Protein backbone atom coordinates (compact mmCIF):
# COMPACT_ATOMS: atom_id res chain seq x y z
CA UNK A 1 0.00 0.00 0.00
CA UNK A 2 2.91 2.34 0.62
CA UNK A 3 3.88 2.26 -3.06
CA UNK A 4 0.31 3.02 -4.08
CA UNK A 5 0.14 6.04 -1.76
CA UNK A 6 3.53 7.20 -3.04
CA UNK A 7 2.35 6.99 -6.66
CA UNK A 8 -0.80 8.95 -5.83
CA UNK A 9 1.28 11.56 -4.01
CA UNK A 10 3.65 12.05 -6.96
CA UNK A 11 0.73 12.19 -9.40
CA UNK A 12 -0.95 14.89 -7.31
CA UNK A 13 2.27 16.90 -6.99
CA UNK A 14 2.92 16.54 -10.72
CA UNK A 15 -0.58 17.85 -11.38
CA UNK A 16 0.16 20.77 -9.06
CA UNK A 17 3.34 21.69 -10.93
CA UNK A 18 1.58 21.20 -14.27
CA UNK A 19 -1.21 23.56 -13.24
CA UNK A 20 1.28 26.26 -12.24
CA UNK A 21 3.27 25.92 -15.45
CA UNK A 22 0.19 25.89 -17.67
CA UNK A 23 -1.42 28.77 -15.77
CA UNK A 24 1.47 31.19 -16.14
CA UNK A 25 2.97 29.87 -19.36
CA UNK A 26 -0.15 29.43 -21.48
CA UNK A 27 -3.48 30.34 -19.88
CA UNK A 28 -2.49 33.84 -18.67
CA UNK A 29 -2.20 34.94 -22.30
CA UNK A 30 -5.96 34.49 -22.76
CA UNK A 31 -7.35 34.88 -19.23
CA UNK A 32 -5.55 36.09 -16.13
CA UNK A 33 -8.50 35.24 -13.83
CA UNK A 34 -8.47 31.65 -15.13
CA UNK A 35 -4.70 31.46 -14.51
CA UNK A 36 -5.19 32.74 -10.96
CA UNK A 37 -7.97 30.18 -10.44
CA UNK A 38 -5.69 27.41 -11.65
CA UNK A 39 -3.05 28.57 -9.16
CA UNK A 40 -5.59 28.55 -6.34
CA UNK A 41 -6.49 24.96 -7.20
CA UNK A 42 -2.78 24.08 -7.40
CA UNK A 43 -2.25 25.70 -4.00
CA UNK A 44 -4.78 23.33 -2.41
CA UNK A 45 -3.23 20.15 -3.83
CA UNK A 46 -0.02 19.86 -1.67
CA UNK A 47 -1.77 19.65 1.73
CA UNK A 48 -4.19 17.05 0.37
CA UNK A 49 -1.30 15.13 -1.19
CA UNK A 50 0.53 15.13 2.16
CA UNK A 51 -2.56 13.78 3.92
CA UNK A 52 -2.94 11.04 1.30
CA UNK A 53 0.73 10.06 1.49
CA UNK A 54 0.81 9.94 5.31
CA UNK A 55 -2.50 8.19 5.85
CA UNK A 56 -2.22 4.95 7.80
CA UNK A 57 -3.75 2.01 6.01
CA UNK A 58 -5.49 -0.85 7.81
CA UNK A 59 -2.55 -3.19 7.12
CA UNK A 60 0.17 -0.69 8.10
CA UNK A 61 2.06 -1.11 11.36
CA UNK A 62 1.75 1.77 13.77
CA UNK A 63 4.96 3.08 15.32
CA UNK A 64 4.41 1.43 18.70
CA UNK A 65 2.96 -1.89 17.56
CA UNK A 66 5.08 -4.92 18.43
CA UNK A 67 7.25 -6.02 15.54
CA UNK A 68 7.26 -9.72 16.45
CA UNK A 69 10.98 -9.77 17.23
CA UNK A 70 11.17 -10.21 21.04
CA UNK A 71 14.64 -8.71 21.37
CA UNK A 72 13.75 -5.65 19.30
CA UNK A 73 10.43 -5.16 21.11
CA UNK A 74 12.18 -5.42 24.50
CA UNK A 75 14.78 -2.87 23.40
CA UNK A 76 12.15 -0.40 22.18
CA UNK A 77 10.08 -0.86 25.35
CA UNK A 78 13.18 -0.05 27.40
CA UNK A 79 13.83 3.08 25.33
CA UNK A 80 10.20 4.18 25.64
CA UNK A 81 10.28 3.66 29.41
CA UNK A 82 7.67 0.93 29.37
CA UNK A 83 9.99 -1.56 31.11
CA UNK A 84 12.86 -1.06 33.48
CA UNK A 85 16.25 -2.24 32.25
CA UNK A 86 17.57 -5.40 33.94
CA UNK A 87 20.03 -4.73 36.76
Radius of gyration in angstroms for the set of CA atoms belonging to the chain, rounded to a whole number: 22
Whole-number Cα distances in Å, 29 to 22, 25, 33, 85: 10, 8, 11, 69
pLDDT for position 25? 95
Dihedral sign of CA atoms 54, 55, 58, 61 in order: positive
In this structure, are residues 56 and 62 in contact, taking their beta carbons and an 8 Å threshold? yes
Q: What is the pLDDT along the chain (87 residues), one digit of tens a residue?
A: 678 888 999 999 999 999 999 999 999 999 999 999 999 999 999 999 999 888 877 666 666 666 778 888 788 778 777 766 566
Q: What is this structure's pTM? A: 0.65
Distance in angstroms (rounded) separating the CA atoms of residues 67 and 33: 53
Amino acid sequence: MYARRRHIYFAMMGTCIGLFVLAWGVVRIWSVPAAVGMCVVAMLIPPVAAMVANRRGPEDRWWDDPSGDPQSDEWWDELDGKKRPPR
